[in-house]
Amino acid sequence: MYEPAEDSFLLAEEVRRHLNALPENKKRAVKILDMGSGSGIQAEACLQAGVSKRDILVADIDQEVVSHLKEKGFNVVHSNLFSKIKGKFDFIIFNPPYLPEHSKEKGLDTTGGKNGYEIILLFIRQAKTHLKKGGKIFLLFSSLSKPEIIKQEAKKYYAIKEKANKKLFFEKLFVFELKGKN
């Protein structure tokens, strides 16, 4: 299970900021998908912002994570990206594995493919069919995962806007908002 780190905290801060800016009536009606939930930090950020647990669906490919999140009382789906996801959402959150493959690190929780962006590109293509009209996606990625390729793919389906970034010793993290063009 991926333990929260700088990337998780940066994304959670933006999630809370976004949800806290919603009027209470919208916050009570928002349907959220936390894709690749891991520890559940993003779903917990949603709860902290006042979203009801019943309006949050968490999904992860790791059965251990699924069991952990069920114990925490979340509505959980064991899914490889959107393979088992039904319905549409107002808000989709994804802190994907985004590091390029490396001989010393091959974990599903950190490696996003040979170049680091393959899982992100799949997510971008699949997410559009699960996003309600006017819905938003908050997506985190790293300067190590070739941001220009990710942004180029995202622009095919979404209006994109950088919401936050954080410079670390060896990389820069980005949180982007993707809004459906429909």
What pLDDT, in 10s, does the model give residues 54-87?
999 999 999 999 999 999 999 999 999 999 999 9
Q: Under a CB-based contact definition with an 8 Å cutoff, are residues 105 and 146 in contact?
A: no
- Could you read off the pLDDT of 136-179 as tens digits, one per residue? 999 999 998 889 999 999 999 999 999 999 999 889 999 999 99
**CB environment 114-126: b (16+ within 10 A), e (fewer):** eebbbbbbbbbee
Q: Residue 89 to residues 86, 93, 132, 134, 169: CA-CA distances in angstroms?
A: 10, 10, 5, 10, 35
Average pLDDT, whole number, for the chain? 89
Distance of alpha carbon 151 from alpha carbon 120, whole angstroms:
10
CATH class of 6-174: alpha beta
pTM of the entire predicted model: 0.90
Domain ranges in the chain are 6-174
- Please name the helix (run of DSSP H) or strand (run of DSSP E) that holds residue 29, with its range, or none: helix 24-29
- Could you read off the pLDDT of 116-127 as tens digits, one per residue? 678 899 999 999
Residue 100 pLDDT greater than 90, yes or no: no
Q: Residue 144 to residues 4, 112, 129: CA-CA distances in angstroms?
A: 19, 11, 28
